[in-house]
Structure 1
Amino acid sequence: MRTTRTVGLAAALALVLGGTLAACGDDNAQNPTTSQASSTQHNDADITFATEMIPHHAQALTMVEMMGGRPVDPAVEKLAGDIRDAQTPEIETMTQWLTQWGEKVPQTGQDHGHNDMGGMGGMGDDQAAPGMMSDADMKELQQAPDAQFQDMWLEMMIKHHQGAIAMAKAEIENGQYQPAVDLAKQIVASQSEEISTMQDMLSN
């Protein structure tokens, strides 16, 4: 069955990032007590987690956007939608953290539009976060024939998820900011399940 999905990722991410930055205003008015220090204090591991996971998630959303107009199985299309729905608000959350901490929010490249998908290779092939696709990988996926696209997409997304899990486990081990550690645990659980689902899809 042929299905089509039009995913307005560029607009969605623009709203997410813009809305978050506007909403971060007065955080000092709600400082918890010292007994809740784990919910307010952060360390370098927390900054690294958010700074690297934002473009990592954004690349996954670009891969979801590439599915628009492709003949994919309904189950694969649904999985892509689930990834979009989970990772878009996670980008919002991590953007808010970095803003509150006075840290730079990384550029995601989502404002480049459909014709610059390859730019989502991210931090450069030598410094990319685990599981990030290179510019060449993204171009190959974008240009893949319909007959090859679905399996290539699943294989790349499995690798991408495996990288996110590695990053999340590092945050669980080394992070101090409890909300970030909690998000990392959620990423490990949800993306491990999605990897299993995608592996089943490839074997069927």
Structure 2
Amino acid sequence: MVLSIAALHRSTVGRWSFWTLMFIGSLAPLGWISLQAVQQQLGADPAQVIVTFLGIWALRFLWLSLAITPARRLLGMAWLQRYRRMLGLYALFYATVHLLAVATFILGWRPDLLLRELTERPYIIAGFAAWILLLPLAVTSTQGWQRRLGKRWKRLHWLVYPIALLALLHFVWLIRAGYLEVLIYTLILAFLLGYRLYLKWR
């Protein structure tokens, strides 16, 4: 299977086909939750379901973007590198939609309620900080910015690891059940961080 996908990437048509599939597949979770909301299939608290669902998918896309380097090096899947930026941008996209959902469904766009929530619920600060830090990474993710910043580009993009820790902290603080899921995300991030540190210091 891996070999067939790698062979597909040797042709321009194959690469564009895979890009299209990645693009559509990355939007599928948003399409699914939207359809469920329209059909009123989200239970007694649809607002909370939507907010949690979007946040989890932001986390998943961030983890997937971090997994590109280990997969490329350990599995010899060099073709994955060209999709890392897309996955990172989708992490920001889902985090932004998650933030908008919180502002709309939970806070009702009320600044006074936001200030109260920030003082009473520190997980909101962690999540918002992660989102803010993602913005410069998205802006500078192009090859043009990479050339412009030179060595500083890599230092800037190491921010993705504090971002991942803040996102995980936000998730752990917020979760009320399903601690096995929290453990899985934590172990995955520990491996990804450990592998990058190994590459840096070996």
Q: State the TM-score, normalizing by the size of structure 1.
A: 0.44
> Larger RCO: Structure 1 or Structure 2 (Cα < 8 Å, ≥ 6 residues apart)?
1
From the CA coordinates, give the structure whose radius of gyration is larger.
2
Q: Which has the higher helix share?
A: 2
Q: State the TM-score, normalizing by the size of structure 2.
A: 0.45
